C-alpha cells in the first residue's frame, strides 16, 4: 500500500508550496492516476515517493517503509 499524509514541499526561495498538504492511499490492486495542470505538484509528489526529493513536512510510506526519513 502507498500512503501519503499531509505532504508539503516548498522549494528554497519559493513563495508558495509546490505540494500543499496532499493526502491519499493506494491499496494493492487499485489503479491510481495523479492528474493536474502544469505546476500542480505531480512530478514533485512522485519525486518524493521515489526518494529523489525530501518533503518539507508530512509523511509517505510504501508497504510500511517510510520513504521520507
At 37-54, the pLDDT tens digits run: 999 999 999 999 999 999
Residues 6+ apart with CB under 8 A from 19: 7, 8, 9, 41, 44, 45, 48, 55
**What predicted TM-score, i.e. pTM, was given to this entire model?**
0.89
- What is the rounded average pLDDT of the residues 4-11? 97
Mean pLDDT of the chain: 95
- The dihedrals phi and psi of 46, each to the nearest 5 degrees, come to -65, -35
Amino acid at each position: 500500500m502507498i500512503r501519503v499524509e499531509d505532504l508539503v514541499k516548498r522549494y528554497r526561495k519559493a513563495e508558495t508550496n509546490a505540494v500543499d498538504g496532499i493526502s491519499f492511499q493506494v491499496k494493492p490492486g487499485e489503479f491510481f492516476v495523479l492528474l493536474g495542470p502544469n505546476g500542480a505538484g505531480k512530478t514533485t509528489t512522485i519525486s518524493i515517493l521515489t526518494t529523489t526529493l525530501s518533503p518539507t513536512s508530512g509523511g509517505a510510506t510504501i508497504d510500511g517503509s517510510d520513504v521520507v526519513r
